[in-house]
Amino acid sequence: MVQNHSTVKDLSERDELDFLNYFIEFTVTVSSSNLNNYFYSEHQQYLYDTIKELYGKGLGYRKISNWFNERDIKTPRGNKFKGNYVFSILKKGRIREERINRESKWKIEKIKIDFC
């Protein structure tokens, strides 16, 4: 009977590897604009999600501001909504999402392996 797999023993049982003591040193550089925390309050997140949904359904900025004002929902600073507030929240929210979802660039610059 032929076996098509191998068995790896626990390292403590593998005497032939005892001489391999090594030290690895490396430098990793991470470049990212999304390392900052871009936290929204619960109210800000609600406003952005609602605006995004209503805008996706075809409502304009003025109609969305009227929708909030009819329900007595205020801006993050406690003011009544205007069309330009809606535009600003939508624009800044999209920029925020883009930054959060952007993939970080990283590279390993230097590797040094010393065998003892």
pLDDT tens-digit series, residues 53-82: 999 999 999 999 999 999 999 999 999 999
User: 9, 13, 21, 7: which is closest to 114 by C-alpha?
Assistant: 21
Lowest mean pLDDT among 67-76, 87-96, 97-106: 97-106
pLDDT tens-digit series, residues 23-59: 677 777 666 555 555 678 899 999 999 999 999 999 9
